[in-house]
Amino acid sequence: MARRRKVVAPSAQDLEGIEAEFRRETLNRPNAALAPISQVAAETAQMQSALSTQEREATARNQHDADAHREAVEQGRVIDLIALDEINENALVRDRTILDASELTELKNSIASHGLRLPIEVFRKEGEKPFGLISGYRRMHAFRELFALTGDAKYQTIKAIIRDPDALGGTITAMVEENEVRASLSHYERGRIAVIAAQQGVFPTAAEAVNQLFNAGSKAKRSKIRSFSLIFEELGDMLEFPEDLREKDGLRVATALRAGGEARFREALADGNPANAKEEWACLEVVAQEFEAEAVPQTKGGRPKTRTPALGWQGRDILHLSSGITLEQGVDSHGYVIRLRGKALNPELVSMAMSELQRLLEK
């Protein structure tokens, strides 16, 4: 059986020895009554209060300046100096199709004399070149040519504002809006960028692209742009001088295209092989006049009179039949075309014509 240990209360002398040893092993804290975490907080507060009033004011100013700079960067109010080699000017399909040589020379002279007064606009992107150009296409070309001419290193970098495309309604919208304000774009250039934006899936249709990109324009202006977008869609691959097409002439071409004139225009351009803008319009005008002659003339004070075309062949491609039906052959971007027009046409007659074509073309 284990022996019980007898517990004896310490004497006063023993207690004094224990307290003395405890004081030797415990750090000397200024406020021993506080818990350790409270002591740490108090010491931190004492260190902070040690800063002078001037130092605290300077710290507050620095924090305010940092917040203001961050906000300015986010809002696109900070101008950066970016190397030209880091900017892809073709990251977007440009709305401007040509650069006027005399205007570019004038711009280069101005930059050489006074520097660049208006920064270009870019956006961040993935890829080898971290920036894509939104606006400033001519300014970038002027800088490249000045560096090639002078070799001056100052033309290797350019002032730029980094924009957030989403905040601007999209990169294409931002580019178009900037050029609408600063540049004189032709209706053809406007129609072209609308079609390309629709083809890239930015907008569901070219018409919707016109409405969104040029919503600040009048209804009449948007209507004209839609007409020129049709010209680009159906004839853009064959036109060599479309920017020289006058507004009223372009509207005539668009009217003929809506009447089914694509094949005739393409044939006229291929046969004419125009070498300049004047010759190109001559080819287009012939076809436009053909369709204008076929249009029903409107007279005041009564029903419009219908003009009966002469029977037989009109040129090489149009055949007027005694039944009032007109046949037209041609070639468009999808292949050979035979068009049938006339009040005598009906679904049954068209089906019979298709059967005859089947019998003729099948082996």
> Could you report the per-residue pLDDT of 238-288, keeping only the tens digit for each?
888 888 888 999 999 999 998 888 889 988 898 888 999 899 999 999 999
CATH for 156: 3.90.1530.10
Does residue 124 form part of some domain?
Answer: yes
Can you tell me which residue has the tokens 């250039």? 189
pTM of the full predicted structure? 0.47
Tokens linked to 60: 């507050």
Does residue 253 form part of some domain?
Answer: no
Beta-carbon contacts of 123 under 8 Å, excluding residues fewer than 6 positions away, are: 131, 132, 134, 162, 163, 164, 165, 171
| String of DSSP letters for 298-358 | P-SSSPPPPPPPPSEEETTTEEE-TTS-EEEEEEETTEEEEEEESTT--HHHHHHHHHHHH
Does residue 117 form part of some domain?
Answer: yes
Tokens linked to 159: 């002032």
Taken in order 32, 37, 41, 44, is the CA torsion positive or negative?
Answer: positive
Tokens linked to 107: 């711009």
Tokens linked to 265: 């225009």
The confidence score (pLDDT) of residue 296 equals 56
Does residue 166 form part of some domain?
Answer: yes
Tokens linked to 133: 């150009």
The confidence score (pLDDT) of residue 182 equals 46
Does residue 152 form part of some domain?
Answer: yes
| String of DSSP letters for 222-258 | HHHHHHHHHHHHHHTTT-S-GGG--HHHHHHHHHHHH
Does residue 125 form part of some domain?
Answer: yes
Does residue 109 form part of some domain?
Answer: yes
The confidence score (pLDDT) of residue 306 equals 58
The confidence score (pLDDT) of residue 181 equals 44
| String of DSSP letters for 46-110 | HHHHTS-HHHHHHHHHHHHHHHHHHHHHHTT--EEEEEGGGEETTSS--S-----HHHHHHHHHH
Amino acid 303 reads R
Does residue 32 form part of some domain?
Answer: no
Instruction: Tell me 3's DSSP state.
Output: P
Domain that residue 135 falls in: 70-185
Q: Give the separation between CA 275 and CA 355, rounded to whole angstroms.
A: 44
User: What is the bridge-based pairing of β-strands 131-135 and 120-124?
Assistant: antiparallel
Count of domains in the chain?
A: 1
| Cβ 274 vs Cβ 235: under 8 Å | no
The confidence score (pLDDT) of residue 143 equals 93
All residue ranges of the chain with pLDDT < 70 are 1-10, 22-52, 72-77, 92-99, 165-184, 200-202, 295-309, 363
Strand-pairing partners, residue 80, are: 160
